[in-house]
Amino acid sequence: MADMDDIREGNDFGLGIEVEKKSFYLKGMDNMDWGMKDRLSRVFNKKSGRTVMLAFDHGYIMGPTSGLERIDLNINPLIEYADCLMCTRGILRTVVPADSNKPISLRVSAGSTILTELNNEVLYDIEEAIRCNASVMAAMVEIGGKHEASTVKNLTRLADLGAKYSIPTMGVTAVGKDMARDARYFALASRVCAENGSTIVKTYFTEGFEKVVNACPVPIVIAGGKKLPELEALELCYNAIQQGAAGVDMGRNVFQSENPAAMIQAVAGVVHDNLTPKEGFDLFETIKNQG
Ligand code: 5RP
């Protein structure tokens, strides 16, 4: 008697019927439903299996940080080069053109700023993410910190709502103050996000990053962190991608670059086309010098 396992494995029971075994191209996503896969396929390029998310949500905790004073002038010209835009609803509604037709990774947790204690956050209303047509909902999780339990609770609630409406969720790992920024910590933090229902995990690159990726059953994207010289930022992207990251969710190393448009294109070359850091940097210089 045929059962579903035979069919999934492509057994045609000697009937000569071609049974196609299909699997979705992103790690751990085979069992997601159609709506979830549709949204993910808008975010992750199908050919490379990776994404360049442009992060400019920093203002929700930092205010108008350097490079983000004028989103209309500094960020909007970069939109065409990104696969996905990571921002808050305030900036989305007021500054991002609604016809830019890029998938949105919407920051849906908020609560405190750099002026008080960071990471004390609650969730927006899910309907707001639906109104904004979010392709991903992102919430901060502070593993190992004072707000661990409440932020994990936020994530689990978000994952429940995301599952209900087929909207992928992204756990954003904020590093607790006393935590070592090493592979052991990031593997734990990423795994906790995935175990609690994150569809994507955003974390940081570190030495031994392969261990972080291997222990996480869903795609990982890396944040860029503080501004680095362009070549070093491209090395960071390269190392993360070559060690299994499914992309970057990068902000300051793009919008604080001396040439943000050249930088995001160089990052895209490293992420999607496997350019080496040197090739990426040459691309950066070439675009920059074209003026
Ligand atoms: C801001 C964030 C950013 O989205 C994230 O840190 C990525 O930006 P960067 O590359 O500048 O670190 O979470 O709160």
The enclosing domain of 179 has a CATH number of 3.20.20.70
**What average pLDDT does this structure show over 260-284?**
98
% of the chain with per-residue pLDDT over 90: 86
The residue-averaged pLDDT of 162-180 equals 92
- Give residue 180's pLDDT band: very low, low, confident or very high (50, 70, 90): confident
Both structure tokens of 117: 């204690």
For residue 250, give the ligand 1 atom closest to its CA: 10
Ligand 1 cavity residues, CB under 6 Å: 55, 57-58, 61, 86, 172, 223-225, 249-253
232 contact partners, CB below 8 Å, separation of at least 6 = none
Atom of ligand 1 nearest to the CA of 58: 1
The pLDDT, as a whole number, for residue 266 is 98
Identify whether 33 is part of a domain: no
Instruction: Evaluate if residue 269 carries a pLDDT over 90.
Output: yes
Write the residue with the smallest CA distance to atom 2 of ligand 1. Answer: 58
Distance 220 CA to ligand 1 centre (A): 14
Q: Which pLDDT belongs to residue 291?
A: 78
* 18 pLDDT higher than 70: no
Q: What is the pLDDT of residue 1?
A: 46
pTM for this prediction: 0.91
Nearest residue (CA) to ligand 1, atom 12:
225
The answer to whether residue 66 sits within a structural domain is yes
How does residue 2 score in pLDDT terms, banded at 50, 70 and 90?
A: very low
User: Whose Cα sits closest to atom 6 in ligand 1?
Assistant: 223
Higher pLDDT, 173 or 119: 173
Give the total number of structural domains in the chain.
1
Establish if 214 belongs to a structural domain.
yes
Task: Tell me if 105 is assigned to some domain.
Answer: yes
The residues that are catalytic are 202
Residue 10 confidence class, pLDDT cut points 50, 70, 90: low
Tell me, in angstroms, the distance from the centre of ligand 1 to residue 53's CA: 10
Domain that holds residue 266: 49-290
How far, in Å, from the CA of 204 to the mean position of ligand 1?
10
Mean pLDDT for all residues in the chain: 94
User: Which residues neighbour 48 within 8 Å (Cβ) at sequence distance 6 or greater?
Assistant: 271, 272, 273
Q: Does the residue 284 lie in any domain?
A: yes
pLDDT at 157 over 60: yes
Residue 160 in this model has a pLDDT that exceeds 90:
yes
